[in-house]
């Protein structure tokens, strides 16, 4: 680890047009931005100018939604986007310092594909690539890969664990100085510094070696977002960064301590893994201005889209008065979650419209207020051991990035919590993580 440990780590999550479900309807957001390279490049450059550690693209390999109630799916903007690795490679050629992280599934890829693609991006970018490891869980994704049903939970994570091991072996096919490229002698590489993985396991048989030199970072960083037991263990074993999702300090602190407490069994120390919870910020010069930004987006939620958010938990409420009480239609698939929502609705006397607005806006922790208000919250989590930094999930882009740069970052810097300049040319270096040394 380097001397920049005392600084907060910040990433910008850039999927879609922002993380609010009505972002595409905001008057200042280009509705076609999700398939526009220049739209993403502009926000990436702003993030780099602000000295953020990384940009991050979540991904799914299918449209994970059903048209229930009927007509809701055609109102969903999350159905056309750019493939993230292609996008990262392009952004990497137009930026110099910011980290480039994207999701790739271990369920419907092969280890050699992933090892080669991320190694290439690490080379193209000069050492700024990161792989967010996920398993695919939706039936819609299974349908796109010749399956009627997705893999079961245990099999998905068992496969993922072996998948990551194989990728890391492939990244270590060559020692750092294996390629001599001596024109005089005619020797291109030192054969003693080639290590063929020859992996044979339950899910994969991969001989290797990888047809790529060892990368500038030694290997790209590995990011993981596991909340359940198997995901936590995979994070402790293999991840450099964990993106977590916690609604309150107590939950975040418990998760932080649990993940850090697992590292010793893998001969790792707490400073070798960074935990960065997701957070959505609504910030303004005044608290009212920040609240107005939130309320504007809430008012843009299409009722059918809101009802679709409730459908999977409470059932079909499309035949009821949106401004009336929330009914219990029965036969819910996950009764415990349904009961929690119904209890909340009754306790607070919420209408259907008020309930779906609340559900639609709560995918990650939300902070609404002035720069000082928001920095107080971020600092408390950082200082008190609930986070090493944060994955900023802006409600809209580019406005969310602009607000971060204008309001929050100056306050963080005033308190000595965030850098003024990059410390390194690589993502590992800027995260305060050492270069990954060769180990075979």
> If we measure between CA atoms, which residue out of 326, 391, 306, 439 comes closest to residue 47?
391
- Residues 222, 239: contact at Cβ < 8 Å? yes
Residue with tokens 């990262």: 88
**139: its two tokens:** 């039936």
Q: Alpha-carbon distance 96 to 125, whole Å? A: 7
Q: Alpha-carbon distance 372 to 367, whole Å? A: 11
**Residue 67: what pLDDT?**
77
The residues, any chain, with a CB within 8 Å of residue 303's CB and separated by 6 or more, are: 322, 353, 356
369: left (phi over 0), alpha (psi -120 to 50) or beta: left
- Span 54-83, mean pLDDT? 84
CATH superfamily of 3-286+363-431: Luciferase-like domain (3.20.20.30)
- Residues 396, 272: contact at Cβ < 8 Å? no
The residues, any chain, with a CB within 8 Å of residue 241's CB and separated by 6 or more, are: 9, 101, 130, 221, 222, 223, 224, 273, 274, 275, 276, 431
Residue 440 has pLDDT above 70, yes or no: no
**Residue 137: what pLDDT?**
72
Tell me: the pLDDT tens digits for 292-322?
999 999 999 999 999 988 887 888 899 999 9
- H or E stretch at 223: strand 221-224
Q: Alpha-carbon distance 275 to 254, whole Å? A: 12
- Span 336-362, mean pLDDT? 84
Tell me: the pLDDT tens digits for 364-417?
799 999 999 999 999 999 999 999 999 999 999 999 999 999 999 999 999 999
The whole-chain average pLDDT of the chain stands at: 91
Residue 170 has pLDDT above 90, yes or no: yes
In the chain, what are the domain boundaries? 3-286+363-431, 297-360
**362: its two tokens:** 């709560």
Residue 3 has pLDDT above 60, yes or no: no
Tell me: the pLDDT tens digits for 270-291?
999 999 999 999 999 999 999 9
Q: Please provide residue 5's backbone torsions phi and psi, each rounded to the nearest 5 degrees.
A: -60, -30
- Residues 397, 14: contact at Cβ < 8 Å? yes
């Amino acid at each position: 680890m380097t001397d920049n440990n005392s600084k907060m780590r910040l990433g910008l999550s850039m999927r879609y047009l922002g993380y609010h479900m009505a972002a595409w309807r905001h008057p200042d957001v280009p509705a076609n931005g999700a398939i526009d390279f220049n739209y993403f490049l502009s926000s990436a450059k702003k993030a780099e100018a602000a000295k953020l550690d990384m940009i991050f693209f979540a991904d799914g390999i299918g449209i994970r939604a059903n048209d229930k109630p009927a007509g809701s799916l055609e109102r969903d903007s999350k159905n056309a986007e750019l493939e993230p690795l292609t996008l990262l490679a392009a952004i990497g050629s137009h930026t110099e310092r910011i980290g480039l992280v994207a999701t790739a599934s271990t369920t419907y890829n092969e280890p050699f594909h992933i090892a080669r693609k991320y190694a290439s991006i690490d080379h193209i970018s000069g050492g700024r690539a990161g792989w967010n490891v996920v398993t695919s869980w939706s039936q819609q994704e299974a349908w796109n890969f010749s399956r009627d049903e997705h893999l079961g939970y245990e099999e998905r994570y068992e496969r993922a664990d072996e998948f990551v091991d194989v990728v890391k072996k492939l990244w270590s096919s060559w020692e750092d100085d294996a390629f001599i490229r001596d024109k005089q002698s005619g020797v291109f590489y030192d054969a003693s510094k080639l290590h063929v993985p020859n992996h044979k396991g339950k899910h994969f048989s991969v001989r290797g070696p990888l047809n790529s030199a060892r990368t500038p970072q030694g290997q790209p960083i590995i990011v993981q977002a596991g909340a359940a037991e198997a995901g936590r263990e995979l994070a402790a074993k293999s991840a450099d960064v964990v993106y977590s999702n916690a609604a309150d300090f107590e939950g975040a602190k418990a998760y932080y301590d649990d993940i850090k407490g697992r590292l010793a069994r893998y001969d790792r120390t707490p400073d070798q893994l960074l935990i960065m919870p997701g957070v959505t910020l609504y910030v303004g010069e005044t608290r009212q201005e920040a609240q107005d930004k939130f309320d504007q987006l809430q008012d843009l939620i299409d009722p059918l889209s809101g009802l679709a958010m409730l459908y999977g938990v409470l059932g079909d409420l499309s035949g009821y008065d949106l401004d009336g009480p929330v009914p219990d239609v029965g036969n819910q698939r996950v009764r415990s979650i349904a009961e929690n929502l119904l209890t909340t609705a009754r306790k607070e006397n919420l209408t259907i419209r008020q309930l779906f607005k609340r559900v639609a806006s709560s995918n990650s922790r939300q902070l609404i207020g002035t720069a000082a208000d928001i920095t107080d919250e971020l600092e408390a989590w950082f200082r008190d051991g609930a986070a090493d930094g944060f994955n900023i999930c802006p409600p809209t882009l580019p406005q969310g990035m602009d607000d971060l740069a204008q309001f929050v970052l100056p306050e963080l810097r005033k308190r000595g919590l965030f850098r003024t300049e990059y410390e390194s040319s690589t993502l590992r270096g800027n995260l305060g993580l050492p270069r990954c040394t060769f180990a075979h």
